Amino acid sequence: MVMVVFYEKPGCSNNTRQKQVLSQSGHDVVALDIRVQTWTPETLRPFFESKPVAEWFNRAAPRVKSGAVVPELMQADEALAAMCLDPLLIRRPLMEAEGRRMAGFDEATVAAWIGLSQDGRPIPEICPRSDGVCSVPKA
């Protein structure tokens, strides 16, 4: 299988489940905190491929939810600058493998890209909590 560099917000329950699916599919996952990376527009832009700018954003980010940032009104250069300053705006996870980069965890796309095997449960991409503060449940 492949090594996947997985940029996440540590403690996010969805990112935890996504990493588990990747690992259970035989992939080696290197998890990095998306908030502490030194992002530039040049390093960030390739993750979004041909997606529209509005799809680059984490809809659960506090500034998006409050209306301070309106993804549909932003141009690419403005969006990238904002994300470099506030990585919580970035749609997660960001993943790198086999020379390709991707934002978000679209199951079918990831399966076609590097292969997935799972137990039949859907793999969440959007934070299920209404407050946008995803965290791993305490055991």
Catalytic sites, residue numbers = 12
Please name the helix (run of DSSP H) or strand (run of DSSP E) that holds residue 62, with its range, or none.
helix 62-65
Bridge partners of 29? 4
Residue 83 three-state SS: helix
1 in Cβ contact with 26 (< 8 Å): yes
7 φ/ψ angles, rounded to the nearest 5 degrees: -90, 120
Quick one: which of 34, 49, 39, 35 has its CA closest to 80?
39
Cis peptide before 137 (omega within 30 of 0): no
Query: Helix or strand or coil: residue 101?
Result: strand
Contact call for residues 18 and 93 (beta carbons, < 8 A): yes
